[in-house]
Every structure is written in structure tokens, then in C-alpha cells.
């Protein structure tokens, strides 16, 4: 018998470095993970450079690589992918941005880049869509909320470029810079002008919005300013089903990952109660994965909360959430024999760094046809001793395709 289906589970940012608060262990090594350890013992393990050794991957470039779309060939910026994930249908030539709702004080300084990690921003986005007018510039736009403090903007019009800077100061207590063209191309200058006008008009709308007035009364930071970054021009992606002969779905609360899935042709499956943070309903997400496997050949799923804890530098929270993940994954122990299971991280997010790093990440592949190795723990060091050894992100799909007998022979 040969497996026919694939569950590809990405534990976003789960990999780390030794942490002082955990006696020099990583959060993954310090966590009690009986389910992940059993899956490791029943599969073949390794470590993986999602892009290449020494290259710090973004969540966007890493997921593209994992799906077999080399970012060197297909990546044009995070903005278009984030926009697609929020529900904005991106067509070739549209300019996309990822956005943060942020807090600005009376002196024009950004005091919180995430507006207290606000959620429920749909009323703010609706007011922006209704009130901002770029018609004097001959430009249209789409603006949608994402998960939490995130949102996305797409500009629509002729002669627009994507070589523009960001107004994100990358820290608190700093005045946001204006967006500028990064070239002499008039198309980039036109985009920069449209962005600055969009920011100006939206700030006026947000300052007077009842939701922000309520937040001020409750002592919460208002979401009264937008930070734009990750500009990119939408390109073209060969459809996943044509590329691999597999029908597929994507399950993720993170709009970026949903967007990547959608642009390659995976069906996005929303799951109520999933937030992309440590309060996400992981049991519901796992149930959705198993339900999708009944009707699709390939399911890409992403669990993100450990990444946020890494960005916050909170090793204890990261360890504890990894244990929550592990408990939620118990149904995967009885996954149907016809399914190949891949579990990996997309990048490391070390708590000491509070950002992505180039450290390789653990990976396990379990299912029919796998040559089971001697690894019995799913962590950064144990997996390095596994039979997969050290691979690249772009190697995963060819390995999986071979296991489900969808690989093409090279040569006679």
C-alpha cells in the first residue's frame, strides 16, 4: 500500500536557541511533548534550512519554499500575499502592503506599534474604506483587517511601482517617517504619494472613531495610526494542483499564510476560534485538518502562537504553549494510514533574539514508506541526528511526492 494524502503542519517559529530561564534549554527541548516525541519515534527526522544555511527566512519566503515555489523566482514582497489573505483578490500589477494598526501620541510619536495587540478592527477598516478618497490621484484601493492588529492595503491604478519605503519606525517613542520612493522611477513616486495621502486621511478617521474613544476611556491604547510596509507588486503563481496533481486546502489564522495558500490555488478553510496567538482554539484547528483530509489530497496547516512568544522574548510562555500544541495534536497519532504527515517549523524565532534567525529547524516525516530512524525526541538537537540529516525547505515537497508515488523519474 502507498499513501495518497499529505498533512503538512507548520509549527510557526517553534525552533529556538538555549534560553537562560530554561537552564540553557530551548523551549521545545524543555517542553513535555509526548505526542511530538512519539511522532518523531515513528517517523524519519532531520533539521532543515528553510531557505539556505545562514539565511534568515521570513514567514513568507519560508512557506513559499516549503510549498516548492522558490522565493528567488516567485517572491515580490509580503504585501500582496498578506492582502490576499485578508480577502483582497490580488490581480497582476496591484501593489500590496501589510499594515499594522498602531498608537500615536499627541506629539506624533508611535507609542505602540500594535495598538495593544488590538483585535476586532473591522469597524475601523470599514470607516477607512468609506472615508478615504484617493480619486484625485486617479488611484483606487482595497483595505481589509487581518488577525489582531494586522491589516492589508492594495492600491489599484496605472503607473504604480512597488519600490517604496515604509513608515514603520521599528520602535516606540519615534516619529514615523514619510513613505518615499526608493528609485527615480515616477511610478514609485506616485505610489509613495498615494500611501502618504492614505495614511493622512486614515489617521483623521481613526482619531475620531467611537471604537478608539471607547478604548481611551478604558485605558487602552487607541488604534489611531497605520504603519505600512512590505510593498510588493502582485505576480503570477503556477497553480498547486497543476504543479503537483493534488487538490489542496490551507488552514491558518495568519492572513499571510492563508494568502500564500490562496495565491497558489489552495482553498482557505476558516476555523472559528483560531486567532494566530496563544489563545487560539487548537482543537478546532486539528479537527478541521482531519475533516479536510477526507475531501482533499493535501492540507497545509499553520499554528502560530509559539512564534509570537519568541518575538516577545518570553521563553516560559513559549515552552508552555508548545505543551498546549502537543496536547492538541494527539488525534494525529491515529491518522489514517493513507496520509503522510510532515511536521516542521518555518524558521527559528529565538527568545534571546526576539526575531527570526538562520538556525535550522526540526522536521519529521511519518507515514507509509518512511524509513524510520532512531530519533525519539522532537527537538532541535535530537532531530539533527535523524535519517533525513540536513535538508532545505525546497526538498520537502519532492520527498513527499515520492512517498505518495507522484514523483517523476529523472532520466530513463
pLDDT of res. 412? 86
Q: State residue 243 phi and psi, 5-degree precision.
A: -70, -40
CA dihedral 11, 13, 16, 19 (to 10 degrees): -110
Which percentage of the chain shows pLDDT scores above 90? 93
Q: Are strands 248-251 and 298-303 parallel, antiparallel or unpaired?
A: parallel
**Are 46 and 386 within 8 A, CB to CB?**
yes
pLDDT, tens digit (0-9, with 9 covering 90-100), for 72-118: 999 989 999 999 999 999 998 999 999 999 999 999 999 999 999 99
pTM of this structure = 0.90
Beta strands across the sheet bearing 248-251: 267-268, 248-251, 298-303, 5-11, 339-344, 361-366, 44-49, 389-392
User: What mean pLDDT comes out for the span 128-147?
Assistant: 96
pLDDT tier for residue 277 given thresholds of 50, 70 and 90: confident
**Are 154 and 134 within 8 A, CB to CB?**
no
Cross-strand partners of 5? 339
E-strand spans in 120-242?
Answer: 140-145, 150-156, 225-233
Q: State residue 328 phi and psi, 5-degree precision.
A: -70, -25
User: Which residues make up the CATH 3.40.720.10 domain(s) of the chain?
Assistant: 5-74+237-403
pLDDT of res. 275? 82
Instruction: Assign a CATH topology to domain 5-74+237-403.
Output: Alkaline Phosphatase, subunit A (3.40.720)
Distance CA 252, CA 40 (A): 23
pLDDT of res. 299? 98
pLDDT tier for residue 312 given thresholds of 50, 70 and 90: very high
pLDDT tier for residue 276 given thresholds of 50, 70 and 90: confident
- Give 280-309 as a DSSP string: --HHHHHHHHHHHHTT-SEEEEEE-HHHHH
236 has a pLDDT exceeding 90: no
pLDDT, tens digit (0-9, with 9 covering 90-100), for 31-75: 999 999 999 999 999 999 999 999 999 999 999 999 999 999 999
Q: Are strands 140-145 and 389-392 parallel, antiparallel or unpaired?
A: unpaired
CA dihedral 274, 280, 281, 283 (to 10 degrees): 110
176 has a pLDDT exceeding 90: yes
Question: Which of 8-12, 265-269, 335-339 is predicted with the least confidence, judged by mean pLDDT?
Answer: 335-339
Amino acid at each position: 500500500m502507498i499513501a495518497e494524502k499529505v498533512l503538512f503542519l507548520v509549527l510557526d517559529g517553534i525552533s529556538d536557541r538555549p534560553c537562560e530561564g530554561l537552564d540553557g534549554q530551548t523551549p521545545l527541548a524543555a517542553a513535555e511533548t509526548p505526542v511530538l516525541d512519539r511522532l518523531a519515534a515513528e517517523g524519519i527526522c532531520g533539521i532543515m534550512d528553510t531557505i539556505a544555511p545562514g539565511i534568515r527566512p521570513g514567514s513568507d519566503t519560508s512557506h513559499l519554499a516549503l510549498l516548492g515555489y522558490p522565493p528567488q523566482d516567485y517572491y515580490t514582497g509580503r504585501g500582496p500575499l498578506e492582502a490576499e489573505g485578508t480577502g483582497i483578490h490580488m490581480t497582476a500589477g496591484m501593489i500590496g502592503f501589510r499594515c499594522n494598526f498602531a498608537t500615536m501620541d499627541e506629539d506624533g510619536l508611535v507609542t505602540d506599534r500594535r495598538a495593544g495587540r488590538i483585535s476586532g478592527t473591522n469597524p475601523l477598516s470599514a470607516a477607512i474604506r468609506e472615508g478615504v478618497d484617493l480619486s484625485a490621484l486617479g488611484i483606487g484601493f482595497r483595505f481589509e483587517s487581518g488577525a489582531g492588529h494586522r491589516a492589508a492595503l492594495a492600491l489599484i491604478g496605472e503607473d504604480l511601482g512597488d519600490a517604496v519605503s515604509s513608515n514603520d519606525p521599528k520602535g516606540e517613542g519615534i516619529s514615523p517617517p514619510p513613505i518615499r520612493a526608493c528609485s527615480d522611477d515616477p511610478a514609485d513616486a506616485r505610489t509613495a504619494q498615494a500611501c502618504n495621502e492614505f495614511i493622512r486621511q486614515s489617521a483623521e478617521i481613526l482619531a475620531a472613531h467611537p471604537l478608539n474613544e471607547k478604548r481611551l476611556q478604558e485605558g487602552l491604547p487607541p488604534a489611531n495610526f497605520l504603519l505600512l510596509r512590505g510593498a510588493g507588486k502582485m505576480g503570477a503563481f503556477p497553480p498547486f494542483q497543476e504543479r503537483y496533481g493534488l487538490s489542496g486546502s490551507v488552514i491558518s489564522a495568519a492572513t499571510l499564510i492563508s494568502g500564500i495558500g490562496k495565491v497558489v490555488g489552495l482553498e482557505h478553510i476558516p476555523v472559528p476560534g483560531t486567532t494566530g496567538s496563544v489563545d487560539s482554539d487548537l482543537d478546532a484547528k486539528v479537527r478541521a485538518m482531519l475533516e479536510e483530509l477526507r475531501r482533499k489530497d493535501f492540507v497545509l496547516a499553520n499554528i502560530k502562537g509559539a512564534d509570537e512568544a519568541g518575538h516577545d522574548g518570553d521563553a516560559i510562555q513559549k515552552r508552555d504553549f508548545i505543551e498546549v500544541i502537543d496536547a492538541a495534536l494527539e488525534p494525529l497519532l491515529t491518522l489514517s494510514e493513507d496520509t503522510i504527515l510532515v511536521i516542521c517549523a518555518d524558521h527559528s524565532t529565538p527568545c534571546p533574539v526576539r526575531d527570526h534567525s538562520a538556525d535550522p529547524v526540526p522536521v519529521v516525516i511519518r507515514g507509509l514508506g518512511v524509513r524510520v530512524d532512531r530519533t525519539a525526541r522532537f527537538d532541535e538537537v535530537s532531530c539533527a541526528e535523524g535519517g533525513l540529516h540536513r535538508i532545505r525547505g525546497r526538498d520537502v515537497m519532492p520527498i513527499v511526492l515520492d512517498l505518495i508515488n507522484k514523483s517523476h523519474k529523472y532520466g530513463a
